[in-house]
Amino acid sequence: WFGTLLSSGCRVLYFTLFSSLYTSARGEITSLDSGNIDDTLNNAGVALVNFYADWCRFSQMLHPIFEEASNVAREEYPDQTQVVFARVDCDQHSDIAQRYRISKYPTLKLFRNGMMMKREYRGQRSVTAIADFIRQQKVDPIKEMLSLEELGSVDRSKRTIIGFFDQKESENYRTFEKVANILRDDCVFLAAFGEVSKPERFSGDNVIYKPPGESVPDMVYLGTLTNFDLAYAWSQDKCVPLVREITFENGEELTEEGIPFLILFHLKEDAESLEKFQHEVARQLISEKGSINFLHADCDKFRHPLLHIQKTPADCPVIAIDSFRHMYVFPEFNDLTVPGKLRQFVLDLHSGKLHRVFHHGPDPTDSTPGQEDDSEVASSPPESSFQKLAPSETRYTILRDRDEL
């Protein structure tokens, strides 16, 4: 009996030691709640947060992978303020899930200094892929210029922000660095220091924006460089265009924003049509920015959506709305510059008129005097094509369905 007890005690001791070591290995994942989330994220240079639910099988599959990726990252970045792996049990902390607009499980959100990045992690769910993603986030997004002659070789096809600083160890540069880390996917960031930057520092440290295009003038930041909110707002306005390009790589994240698309389909080399579209969107639709996404797409790459609306690349440029239920075509591209025409097209989506007209024919008020009312003539609008780019139900547990027009 004593031998059995001793043997049992050894097993208990072994189990306790093993559990302790395993818990220590898993301790790299920080469980977040309303009491520690702000402090944890605000003090982390980079944080990857797993929003999960225990009942979700995709969440269960990710847990061991996420934990092992955390261990790999900890070996490479031992400073616990550099990289943080954290998780939120969304069933237990629904307030946090609502705060960060979690619509599927598991969702991996990236944070920098407490600010949630727009682009979440959507890559392969493997230890190698997640660890590589963290390594990419730790690469310095700012390239140092060693001579002002390098300004002549700046790629004018890309949005570029350049900072000229007296010294690298300064509050001004720390603000610039923070902005660059957040907008690294949207702009190229360059910096020059000391004697190299002196000719550009007429009245102190200076930041300029070089827009795409050879003949487009530079823009100078006139705010205080120590004011992060001001510097970030200015930089975001320059780096994130009003009309964005949709690709197969970013289609899922754009679709998940949950607002309809107004899309210009154009041939890649047709810069003139894109410029016209950008100008009219800025002129007519700036007030609609929060209710519709303004996009442009390569006709050749997106042949399938064009076929949905009975068009081919030969018909481009073509403007259409995708509401995630149906697609609606702007009748004539040449009417783009008619004052208010494009705006009315968007307003007709919001009011339900486009949907109503497709199903039941023109509204009686739209009928031409003397003509018969053809409101009983129904047609079926093409189904959404871009809805297929939304997060897949074979990869996520989707929490809610959309209800668009």
Q: What's the rounded mean pLDDT across residues 357-378?
A: 51
Mean pLDDT (the chain) is 87
Asked if residue 182 lies in contact with residue 119, where contact means CB atoms within 8 angstroms, the answer is no
Tens-digit pLDDT profile for residues 30-79: 999 999 999 999 999 999 999 999 999 999 999 999 999 999 999 999 98
Q: CB pairs under 8 A, 24+ apart, for 389-396? A: 389/248, 389/251, 389/252, 389/254, 389/255, 390/252, 390/255, 390/256, 390/324, 391/104, 391/252, 391/255, 391/256, 395/58, 396/58, 396/104, 396/105, 396/106, 396/107
Asked whether the predicted pLDDT for residue 139 surpasses 60, the reply is yes
What is the identity of the amino acid at 139? V
Residue among 4, 8, 129 at smallest CA distance from 62? 129
Residue among 36, 38, 60 at smallest CA distance from 50? 60
Give me the pLDDT at residue 379, please.
55
Q: Is the pTM of this model over 0.85?
A: no
Give the side-chain half-sphere CA count within 13 A for 158. Answer: 13
* Element spanning 146, H or E: none
Give me the pLDDT at residue 366, please.
54
Asked if residue 313 lies in contact with residue 254, where contact means CB atoms within 8 angstroms, the answer is no
DSSP code, position 145: P
Give me the pLDDT at residue 79, please.
87
Burial bucket for residue 63 (CB in 10 Å: 0-12, 13-18, 19+): middle
Q: What strands lie across the sheet with 327-329, from one edge to the other? A: 243-245, 293-298, 261-266, 318-322, 327-329
Question: pLDDT class for 2, splitting at 50, 70, 90?
Answer: very low
| Fold for the domain defined by 243-398 | Glutaredoxin (3.40.30)
Instruction: Decide if 142-239 and 243-398 have a common fold.
Output: yes
Tens-digit pLDDT profile for residues 333-366: 999 999 999 999 999 998 988 878 766 556 555 5
Q: What's the rounded mean pLDDT across residues 297-312?
A: 94
Alpha carbon 376 to its chain's center: 43
Q: Please tell us whether the domain made up of 2-138 is placed in CATH 3.20.20.70.
A: no
Alpha carbon 168 to its chain's center: 29
Question: pLDDT class for 127, splitting at 50, 70, 90?
Answer: very high
Asked whether the predicted pLDDT for residue 380 surpasses 90, the reply is no
Give me the pLDDT at residue 364, please.
56
Strands (E) across 74-127 are located at 83-89, 104-105, 107-112, 115-116
Give me the pLDDT at residue 64, please.
97
Which two three-digit tokens encode residue 213?
A: 């295009």
CA-based end-to-end distance of the chain: 75
Which two three-digit tokens encode residue 185?
A: 């996917």
- 372 vs 327, more confident: 327
Residue among 175, 195, 179 at smallest CA distance from 187? 179
Bond preceding residue 141 cis, omega within 30 of 0: no
| Fold for the domain defined by 142-239 | Glutaredoxin (3.40.30)
- 72 vs 387, more confident: 72
Tens-digit pLDDT profile for residues 154-180: 999 899 999 999 999 999 999 999 999
Domain ranges of the chain: 2-138, 142-239, 243-398
Asked whether the predicted pLDDT for residue 368 surpasses 70, the reply is no
Burial bucket for residue 10 (CB in 10 Å: 0-12, 13-18, 19+): exposed
